Structure 1
């Protein structure tokens, strides 16, 4: 059937208008969702900052100064979930920053996951802090993902004055691991868990898929929303290597 003269152009125009309206609808729908996701990431940064303040607020039971001054990277994971009913599962989302030649880097977003088998029932939520203590730990941080205790040697970190109690962490540990649950802060065994990049969250926060290596090397300016967290890390993890 042949359309009357001029009718075809009207149909094409209407189709273009419909397509434009659909695109606007998609954008209008996506923007609030993106804003909500960004708000969650800002909250995660704030939670991570508060965890460090609370841990370091009790000097006798906090991370020892030797470790603070020697750290290469710091990972904070608020409310790491661990539950079990015959098969155990662990999962958490957090943020990481690394020491560079001009201060601490802008943060990247990470996830920690793992599982265990055995006859166990229970559940808990724990705040975690992981500290990379040497260049090997730093190189693992720059990879896509690695297994703690497998790809990277790790040990439960000493607390307070207990840093003098042993030397294993000085000689062997690429990562020192800490937990805070119900107000208590202590080293923890995280062997078998996998730390990996959360590329979706990093893309949401920065607006593009920036490589982790680029961000953690200090080649990306710290966004205003992340400055309080990075500033808190810089405050406590002071450098002794001038």
Structure 2
């Protein structure tokens, strides 16, 4: 192969053809292949037939029409090889041009080709990636069967720390997921278990099983927790004996929801029959929350009170928050005697009162007038509640059953039932503030409660 100067000498031989012959040959070639002139490989030009190629030109690009094979074509191909025409950059430019014509392809900030977000991408990870191992492990956990517990006699020491068991300081605890025997310190975790276990409360698990179950708790909370199950007991008429009398202590959030719903339905009946004994609508309209609980009270001069219930807060958009379980214990002193069972509706007048109920514990002080004779009695109280998160004014309306009369000063301590909330929602990290101020959605199991709240606020009149 000659030098570039010798190549230019070959190129000068092509000038013996006239410009008219070049135009005629080009027009004949285009007409014979029925392609537009702009798509033909060579454009008509009066420049030398073999120009110096730069890195952007590709003489071997695919064409719609093949040129006539002659000395110029052959020499042009040889020159492009010698000059090192870069095919890769041209391919990249063709790829970019291609992506602009395809609607489901796009380019990211780095210029890499990416699939448009509207295109469905399979959620399962590829089998050859590292995340596939995690996916397989999660699938194994979700499909796990309940284990057979090891007998207590099979282990004299903790299977994790190997410390021996004792009668008082280090007892035996079974992991509900693997069935092994561990000490208390090695089995502190509480997790929801997969569906095959048919248990909806968080269970004790060992540290190793906790590490396997913890990444799946969000999924299990949404599908397997008690809060996501439909309400089982939603009949509150005379055909259901549990609706006749609310028990002062509820063992589960489901029963607290039932008691609160039953209490509000009875108040709606009172409002329809005797509006003067109902809660004034002016107070209900300004309510920032409601606490509904059943309390047993008994004594003479000095009375003792205990009861459980729930509290809900009203959000800024007018909807109601998820319920939080509460426990109330207290004392009363005054001119009073007897015993009664009272269903309370406590109207939280402002946001400070809601914050008081969102604390772990708060104290209420107030005065009240109470009278009960037979199955129905009335009581009204006003009190101030204080906690580390603030203080607020509350108005209390109640319906009592029993034999009691008196005027007294009342003091109560109200605490959050964290264990009851844990069994209901299944989330060990959930706080009362999260429940009352909007982080938790409305649970499916509390649907009767929300229906009763809507009915109560729509029917109350002055």
- TM-score normalised per structure 1: 0.68
Aligned to 1:181: 400
Match of 2:265 among 39, 53, 77: 53
Call closer, same or farther: CA 1:231–1:189 in 2, change over 3 Å.
farther
* Contact 1:113/1:195 (8 A) holds in 2: yes
Q: Quick check: 1:65 aligned with 2:284?
A: no
Q: CA shift at 1:235, angstroms?
A: 3.4
Q: CA shift at 1:58, angstroms?
A: 2.1
Q: Quick check: 1:84 aligned with 2:311?
A: no
Provide the C-alpha distance between the structure 2 equivalents of 1:199 and 1:222, rounded to a whole number of angstroms: 18
Provide the C-alpha distance between the structure 2 equivalents of 1:109 and 1:69, rounded to a whole number of angstroms: 24
Gaps of 5+ in 2: 1-149, 160-173, 181-192, 203-225, 227-249, 370-381, 384-391
Q: Where do residues 1-242 of structure 1 align in structure 2 (5 Å cutoff)?
A: 22-24=174-176, 31=199, 40-59=252-271, 60=275, 61-78=277-294, 80-84=295-299, 87-102=302-317, 103-116=319-332, 122-149=338-365, 174-182=393-401, 191-209=410-428, 210-237=430-457
Call closer, same or farther: CA 1:155–1:63 in 2, change over 3 Å.
farther
Call closer, same or farther: CA 1:67–1:120 in 2, change over 3 Å.
closer
More helix per residue: 1
Q: CA shift at 1:236, angstroms?
A: 2.3
Q: Residue deviations 1:183-231, cap 9 Å, x none? A: 9xxxx97731122211111111111231111110121012111121133
> Per the alignment, in what secondary structure is the counterpart of residue 213 of structure 1?
helix
> Per the alignment, in what secondary structure is the counterpart of residue 411 of structure 2?
coil
Call closer, same or farther: CA 1:67–1:125 in 2, change over 3 Å.
same
More strand per residue: 1
> Per the alignment, in what secondary structure is the counterpart of residue 421 of structure 2?
helix
Gaps of 5+ in 1: 1-13, 158-167
Q: Residue deviations 1:141-161, cap 9 Å, x none? A: 222222112xxxx6769xxxx
Provide the C-alpha distance between the structure 2 equivalents of 1:63 and 1:180, rounded to a whole number of angstroms: 12
> Per the alignment, in what secondary structure is the counterpart of residue 191 of structure 1?
strand
Provide the C-alpha distance between the structure 2 equivalents of 1:143 and 1:92, rounded to a whole number of angstroms: 18
User: What is the number of equivalent residue pairs in this alignment?
Assistant: 199
* Contact 1:155/1:175 (8 A) holds in 2: no
> Per the alignment, in what secondary structure is the counterpart of residue 139 of structure 1?
helix
> Per the alignment, in what secondary structure is the counterpart of residue 193 of structure 1?
strand
Call closer, same or farther: CA 1:39–1:224 in 2, change over 3 Å.
farther
> Per the alignment, in what secondary structure is the counterpart of residue 442 of structure 2?
coil
Call closer, same or farther: CA 1:67–1:123 in 2, change over 3 Å.
same
- TM-score normalised per structure 2: 0.37
Say which structure, 1 or 2, has more relative contact order (CA 8 Å, 6+ apart): 1
* Contact 1:73/1:98 (8 A) holds in 2: yes
> Per the alignment, in what secondary structure is the counterpart of residue 252 of structure 2?
helix
> Per the alignment, in what secondary structure is the counterpart of residue 439 of structure 2?
coil
Report the aligned-residue RMSD.
Answer: 3.9
Provide the C-alpha distance between the structure 2 equivalents of 1:114 and 1:39, rounded to a whole number of angstroms: 19
Aligned to 1:7: none
> Per the alignment, in what secondary structure is the counterpart of residue 279 of structure 2?
coil
> Per the alignment, in what secondary structure is the counterpart of residue 419 of structure 2?
helix
> Per the alignment, in what secondary structure is the counterpart of residue 423 of structure 2?
helix
